[in-house]
C-alpha cells in the first residue's frame, strides 16, 4: 500500500505537554504533508516537507523526515486544549504525479 500509517492511533496528554505523532510509508515520495481535522470538518494543511528536506518548523510544530527509514514525525510543543483534533499524514508518491494518499490518522486529546 502507498498509504502512510500513523502511530499512535490515539494520544491523550495534559495541556502544556508535547505531543509526538509518527508516520511511516512504503514508497518513494515527492513530499509528505501533515493535516489536522476537527470533528466533522474539512482538513487544514499544517506543514509540507519535501523529500530533500530533513526538518521543518512552523510555530509550535516541528516535522522531521527520514527518507531512508521512510518515516516522519510531527511534534506539537506546549500543547493546548485547542490542539485536540485528528492529525493525518499524506504522501505524494513519486511515480503518481499529484496523487495524495492519506493515512488513518492519530486522534489527539489535550486535557486542560
Rg (CA), the chain: 13
In whole angstroms, the minimum distance from the beta carbon of 98 to another protein comes to 4
In whole angstroms, the minimum distance from the beta carbon of 43 to another protein comes to 5
Which grid coordinates belong to 38? Answer: 476537527
Of 10 and 82, nearer to another protein (C-beta) is: 10
Determine how β-strand 106-111 pairs with β-strand 10-14: parallel
Binding stretches for another protein (CB under 8 A): 3, 30-31, 33, 35, 40-45, 48, 88, 90, 92, 96-105
Which distant-in-sequence residues (6+ apart) come within 8 Å of 52 by Cβ?
A: none
Of 15 and 109, nearer to another protein (C-beta) is: 109
In whole angstroms, the minimum distance from the beta carbon of 60 to another protein comes to 18
> Where on the phi/psi map is residue 70: left (φ > 0), alpha (ψ -120 to 50), or beta?
left
Amino acid at each position: 500500500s502507498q498509504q502512510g500509517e500513523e502511530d499512535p492511533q490515539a494520544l491523550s496528554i495534559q495541556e502544556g505537554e508535547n505531543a509526538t505523532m509518527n508516520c511511516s510509508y512504503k514508497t518513494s515520495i515527492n513530499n509528505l504533508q501533515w493535516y489536522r481535522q476537527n470533528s466533522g470538518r474539512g482538513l487544514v494543511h499544517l506543514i509540507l516537507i519535501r523529500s530533500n528536506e530533513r526538518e521543518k518548523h512552523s510555530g509550535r510544530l516541528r516535522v522531521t523526515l527520514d527518507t531512508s527509514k521512510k518515516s516522519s514525525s510531527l511534534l506539537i510543543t506546549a500543547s493546548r486544549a485547542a490542539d485536540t483534533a485528528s492529525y493525518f499524514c499524506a504522501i505524494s508518491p513519486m511515480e503518481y504525479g499529484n496523487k495524495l494518499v492519506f493515512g488513518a490518522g492519530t486522534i489527539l486529546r489535550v486535557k486542560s
